[in-house]
Amino acid sequence: MSGTLALLAAVDRLYEAVVMQPEAWGPQAFSDWAEEVAAGGVTKDQARAVRRCLRAAERLRDFWEGDRAAVAADDWRTRVDVALGARAWRPALELAQAGLNDEPSPELFAEVQERFRVVNSQPWLEGMDYDTWRSSQGAV
């Protein structure tokens, strides 16, 4: 798994945790999460995107604390959408896009396609597969 894919998975796990169990996420839990992610090695641009995801996670936690958690949907992605919508997903999309430029792979291509659709409510390069995209980028 590439570094970017691992970061995206970590962000998804963070979002899921804070919307499903917001009471478990205090300042120390967020700090511990950030240290764990940084320990895996991140670039300056990745660190910036991760910090934006962390701020979104704090807002998600604040939104779902208290009575809202009892009436919310069971799906964590729906909870993210209800609380912040595209604003929560945008930093992760930017992280995926930067990763696709730095370490292109079919998996990152699929991540960008999916996250772009969620953020922009429209497909990205609809009908284009990874190999066609790589060819269009001048890569072999």
What is the SS3 assignment for 40? coil
pLDDT digits (tens, 9 = 90+) for 3-46: 899 999 999 999 999 999 999 999 999 999 999 998 888 888 88
Residue 138 in tokens: 């001048």
Distance between CA 1 and CA 90 in Å, rounded?
22
* Span 74-99, average pLDDT: 92
Q: Which of 12, 4, 122, 6 is nearest to 75 (CA)?
A: 12
Distance between CA 45 and CA 99 in Å, rounded?
10
pLDDT digits (tens, 9 = 90+) for 99-136: 998 889 999 999 999 999 999 988 888 778 888 888 88
Distance between CA 129 and CA 117 in Å, rounded?
15
> For residue 1, is pLDDT > 60?
no
Distance between CA 112 and CA 76 in Å, rounded?
20
Percentage of the chain surpassing pLDDT 70?
93
pLDDT of residue 134: 86
CA distances from 97 to 4, 6, 28 (A): 9, 14, 30
pLDDT of residue 2: 61
CB-based burial of residue 34 (10 Å sphere; 0-12 exposed, 13-18 middle, 19+ buried)?
middle
Neighbours of 137 (CB within 10 A): 10
For the entire predicted model, the pTM comes to: 0.88
Average pLDDT, the chain: 89
